[in-house]
Amino acid sequence: MSVNYSALDSKLKRQRRASLTDTNLLLIITIIVFLVMYFCAVIFLKKGFTKPQMFFNILNENASLLVLSCGMTLVMITGGIDISVGQVTCLVCMSCAVHLQKVNEGLAFGNVFTSLLIALAIGLAFGIIQGALVAYLEFQPFIVTLAGLFFAKGMTTIVCSDRVPVTYDPFVKLARTEVTIPFLGSVNKKGIYIPAYVEVGVLVALAVVVILFCLLRWTKLGRNFYAVGGNNQSANMLGINVKRTKFLAHVLCGLCAGIGGYLFFLHACSGSPLHAQGAEMNAIASSIIGGTLLSGGVGNIVGTLFGVLSLSTIKNIVTSLGLEDAWWTNITVGVMLCIFLLVQSVILARKNKNKK
């Protein structure tokens, strides 16, 4: 019996193309939207958008949000959600700030490294406890992380209820370190060439993005995340430890919240109960814009990166349009989120129809 290899091959190719249209379409849409938005801003607005530094400032300001969103994407791929990350960020900032101020006054032993350890420990603790409650005790992720949000919020004010600026020298030096980008820069009014720069936090954030991208793409754990999110029961039947996978997703998200919190701290150089307000919602919005489905099983770290960039670009555009009232940014973000959700829902509906 002969097999028609060419027919089989073309069928496989068609399948591959079909899978591209289903899942990667969301990613492609996000990237296109971001590029179109940015080029429109460069062409029509000009105000600063022509300078490369504008782009890097977006990164500088959103390094922490980027890491938070990546963690959120992991949890969302497994079909869960973590709304505590914003307040965990706030708690991390406050704890590190108080710690470093005590070190500065000579009341406690420590340095920049110990503050980083504190940040990671807080993030991990939240991740492990919430993950255990969600995965092994089968509580609803929303309620568990809601309690986590409350707890972190209260703990922040228990640690200190005022704004704590950090004056510890080595830390301030680290925070002010600027990494210049070669061959990119702009000339200011006096004709002096200013090279573009990024802060240290951006490099860390990009490293996290790369690591998580590799994790999702090429490791067994990463594939398990998708399998668990796509279909819980069939993942279980395939021999995947569903509970452990969910647990690990939450732990990684907690760790990301710790890192993101430290990056926020690095950027703000202070601790305050008002830091990172609503960061969890921004992170969720970025992930959704980046093509992660809340129903689980679909998502991409690169998409999340572009989600964060799109979100902050539109904020910058709104500000530079002269609509400086704070409400316009929120309304545009809301509208953008709405559009992306509608697109997602249409694509999902089409996908379901194809299956039938």
Sign of the dihedral through C-alpha 63, 67, 68, 70: positive
Residue from 43, 176, 349, 354 that binds other proteins (CB under 8 A)?
A: 349
Q: Is residue 155 packed enough to be buried (19+ CB in 10 Å), middle (13-18) or exposed (0-12)?
A: middle
**Least separation in angstroms between CB 274 and other proteins:** 10
Beta carbon nearer to other proteins, 153 or 163 = 153
If one counts every other C-beta atom within 10 angstroms of the C-beta of residue 20, the result is 12
Point out which span in 5-13, 23-31, 104-112, 343-351 binds other proteins (CB under 8 A): 343-351
Residues 180 and 196: beta-carbon distance below 8 Å: yes
| Binding mask of the shown chain, residues 124 to 163, with x at each position contacting other proteins by CB under 8 A | ---------x---xxxx-xxx-xxxxxx-xxx-xx--x--
The one-letter code for the residue type at 23 is T
**Least separation in angstroms between CB 217 and other proteins:** 25
SS3 labels along 287-303: HHHCCCCCCCCCCCHHH
**Least separation in angstroms between CB 330 and other proteins:** 4
Q: How far is residue 12's CA from residue 287's CA, in Å, rounded to a whole number?
A: 30
Point out which span in 107-115, 203-211, 213-221, 331-339 binds other proteins (CB under 8 A): 331-339
Residues 131 and 138: beta-carbon distance below 8 Å: no
Beta carbon nearer to other proteins, 76 or 112 = 76
| Binding mask of the shown chain, residues 291 to 330, with x at each position contacting other proteins by CB under 8 A | ---xx-----------------------------xxxxxx
Residue from 254, 273, 290, 291 that binds other proteins (CB under 8 A)?
A: 273
> Binding residues for other proteins, how many (CB under 8 A)?
48
Q: How far is residue 145's CA from residue 127's CA, in Å, rounded to a whole number?
A: 10
Beta carbon nearer to other proteins, 53 or 62 = 62
Residues 287 and 73: beta-carbon distance below 8 Å: yes
If one counts every other C-beta atom within 10 angstroms of the C-beta of residue 213, the result is 17
Beta carbon nearer to other proteins, 146 or 215 = 146
Tokens read off for 346: 């249409």
Q: How far is residue 127's CA from residue 225's CA, in Å, rounded to a whole number?
A: 16
Kindly state whether residue 92 participates in binding other proteins, applying the rule CB under 8 A. Answer: no
Beta carbon nearer to other proteins, 97 or 175 = 97
- DSSP state letter for 321: T
Q: Which residues bind other proteins (CB under 8 A)?
A: 81, 133, 137-140, 142-144, 146-151, 153-155, 157-158, 161, 273, 278, 281, 284-285, 288, 294-295, 325-331, 333-335, 337-338, 341-342, 344-346, 348-349
